[in-house]
């Protein structure tokens, strides 16, 4: 390469401009052919690092496919969940209204209407719906564990609705509270094999804290394939919470909760026409704009609420 550079410099100093231009063209063509390319042919050996924080060591991990390839994704034609299995799947509703005195939790008036609406809504979407009222923590866990061990091979998806009191990350049975993660993790890909790659939907109507939202004024207006893939065990979950972390969730004692009212209304209107995340965005809009608390206690009066959707879905979901 050094000799070629010296020859090039000598020629440039001694030749007319027209010859120089021809020579530059020649060098450009050599580069296109790879003759003047990097000794390693332009390739790079790289490692993928974990983005660990300062208190956790950052490990070097060699990951196959770590480099992005300049070609169409082989997943492009599988962007929608297959929803035409022989069965839509199970919808399990836990409806807790009456709590043991030891929990110091009040009666959840209006929740029966929520459960009834959810039953009718998911029944109309083709699900087999089961409702369980006033369940202890062990009952909730035990029933979901049994469902997670079922064979879901002929089912498109799984739905669970949890209606109860709660705290951030926890849900109350009628006797005590338990981490929501203990329930949802039963359906992880490494524990519930026949739901791998299928949507698992959790709708959670419960408080997530004791903060109140006063609001603010505004003036702004699949085909089958023989290929197999490895996917994360936490993939294909969607959690639709009635409120954001740290906040109260509102329920009308006569009409039911704002979130479940809105969810069922939007599924009724758009369940066959919009994709699920679009529907849940409509739910957020309805709860945020059409509801405001009415209470005799001034500190709880005229408060607002916004639901929270946490999606690990890997495809779009449209109900057939």
Residues designated as active site: 165, 207
Interior/surface letters 189-225, b for 16+ CB within 10 angstroms, e for the rest = beebeebbbbbbbbbbbbbbbeebbeeeeeeeeeeee
How far is Cα 141 from Cα 147, in angstroms, rounded to an integer? 10
How far is Cα 91 from Cα 159, in angstroms, rounded to an integer? 4
Task: Give the end-to-end CA distance of the chain in Å, rounded to a whole number.
Answer: 64
How far is Cα 262 from Cα 159, in angstroms, rounded to an integer? 17
User: What does each C-alpha distance from 61 to 46, 69, 111, 159 come to in angstroms?
Assistant: 10, 19, 49, 36
Q: What is the DSSP string of 27-75?
A: HHHHHHHTTTS-TTTT-----EEP---TTS---EE--TT-SPPSS--TT
Closest CA to 177 of 142, 148, 145, 135: 135
Closest CA to 146 of 88, 85, 192: 192
Bridge partners (DSSP) listed for residue 129: 91
- The residues, any chain, with a CB within 8 Å of residue 55's CB and separated by 6 or more, are none
How far is Cα 158 from Cα 176, in angstroms, rounded to an integer? 26
Task: Give yes or no for a contact between 166 and 208, defined as CB atoms under 8 angstroms apart.
Answer: yes
Residue 91: how many other CB atoms lie within 10 Å = 24
């Amino acid at each position: 390469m050094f000799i070629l550079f010296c020859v090039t410099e000598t020629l440039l100093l001694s030749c007319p401009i027209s010859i120089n231009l021809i020579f530059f063209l020649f060098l450009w063509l050599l580069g296109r052919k790879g003759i003047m390319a990097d000794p390693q042919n332009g390739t790079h050996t790289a490692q993928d690092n974990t983005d660990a924080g300062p208190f956790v060591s950052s490990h070097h991990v060699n990951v196959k496919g770590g480099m992005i390839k300049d070609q169409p994704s082989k997943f492009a034609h599988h962007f929608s969940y297959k929803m035409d299995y022989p069965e839509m799947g199970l919808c399990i509703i836990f409806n807790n209204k009456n709590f043991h005195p030891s929990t110091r939790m009040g009666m959840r008036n209006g929740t029966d209407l929520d459960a009834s609406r959810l039953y009718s809504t998911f029944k109309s979407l083709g699900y087999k719906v089961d409702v369980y009222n006033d369940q202890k923590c062990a009952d909730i866990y035990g029933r979901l564990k049994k469902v997670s061990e079922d064979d879901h091979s002929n089912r498109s998806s799984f739905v669970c609705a949890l209606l109860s009191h709660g705290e951030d990350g926890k849900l109350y049975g009628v006797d005590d509270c338990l981490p929501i993660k203990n329930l949802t993790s039963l359906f992880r890909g490494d524990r519930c094999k026949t739901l791998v790659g299928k949507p698992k939907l959790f709708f959670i109507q419960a408080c997530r804290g004791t903060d109140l939202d006063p609001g603010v004024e505004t003036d702004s207006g699949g085909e089958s394939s023989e290929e197999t893939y490895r996917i994360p065990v936490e993939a294909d979950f969607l959690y639709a919470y009635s409120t954001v972390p740290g906040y109260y969730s509102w329920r009308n004692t006569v009409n039911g909760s704002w979130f479940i009212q809105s969810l069922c209304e939007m599924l009724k209107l758009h369940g066959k026409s919009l994709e699920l995340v679009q529907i849940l965005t409509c739910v957020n809009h309805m709860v945020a704009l059409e509801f405001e608390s009415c209470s005799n206690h001034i500190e709880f009066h005229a408060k607002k609420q916004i639901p929270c959707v946490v999606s690990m879905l890997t495809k779009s979901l449209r109900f057939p």
